[in-house]
Structure formats: structure tokens, C-alpha cells
Structure 1
């Protein structure tokens, strides 16, 4: 794996972990978050696992569902 691909993978894993942490802080289940974002639970599972490149619009939905800003969402070390 190239260094750039590794960095991208690490970023997505970090973002997913951040979403999980924020969700759990708020006492929201993965099912509830997926419902609030109007996506299938399997897709939310992939996002939280860092296995998919999330669209900007999905990030907006996730932020709204969690009550955070995009800046809050990206407040992690990749």
C-alpha cells in the first residue's frame, strides 16, 4: 500500500471513530443515527468502520443528527 493510500485509510478510520465517540457520548444507537441520517444501518456501519469515503452531504446529515459542527466532527488526530 502506498503511503498516500495508507494516510487516506487512516483518515477515514479516524473519522469513523470520531463519529462513534460522538454518537456514544450522546447516547444514540447506530440504528438511531442511521435513521436520523436517512440511510441504511449497514451504510452507517461502514462509515463508522472507516470503510467508505463519506460524501459532504452525508457529513452534513451526520453533524445535524449529532448536533455538532463539521469542525467538531474533524477534531481528531488522523
Structure 2
């Protein structure tokens, strides 16, 4: 798996979790003290978020960091 694929998989996971909580990109961005466009890029896989950013996202979405980035779970492999 290449970095771009991983970013897209994790981004889609974040988007799905955010939407399941009826949260807008703006709401997530505000909770992270980031711009909405940053969340948009993360969800689209267009950026490589730091481990700290992923940790912050996991806390806002009320899941563990492990659950957020667990590759087997994300890819079904």
C-alpha cells in the first residue's frame, strides 16, 4: 500500500465517522482549531495528517486512535 492510498482510506474513514455523528466539516475543523479546507483535504486524502492531528480527530469523533487507523479494519484485509 502506498502513502496516497493510505491517506485516502483514512480520509474516507474520518468522513464516514464524521457524517455518522451528523457533524459538518466546519464543526470538526472548529473542534480541531483548523480551517474547514484542512478537514476537506484530510478527508479527500490530499494531505498526510500528523499523528497528533489524527489523535485529535479520534478524540473529537469519540473513538480510539487505534480504531481510526487500523488498516485491517479499513481495508477489509
Name the TM-score, length of structure 2 as normaliser.
0.88
Please, which runs of 5 or more residues in structure 2 have no aligned partner? none
Equivalence for 1:71? 66
Distance in 1 between the 2:24 and 2:39 partners?
11
Please, which runs of 5 or more residues in structure 1 have no aligned partner? none
Residue-pair matches, total: 73
Q: Give runs of ≥4 in structure 1 deviating > 2 Å.
A: none
- 1:50-61 superposed matches below 5 A: 50-61=45-56
- 1:1-78 superposed matches below 5 A: 7-74=2-69, 75-77=73-75
Greater relative contact order (Cα < 8 A, sep 6+): 1
Name the TM-score, length of structure 1 as normaliser.
0.87
Structure 1 residue 8 displacement after superposition: 1.2
Per-residue Cα deviation, 1:40-71 (whole angstroms, up to 9, x for no partner):
01111100100001001101110111011011
Distance in 1 between the 2:13 and 2:43 partners?
8
In angstroms, what is the RMSD of aligned CA positions?
1.4
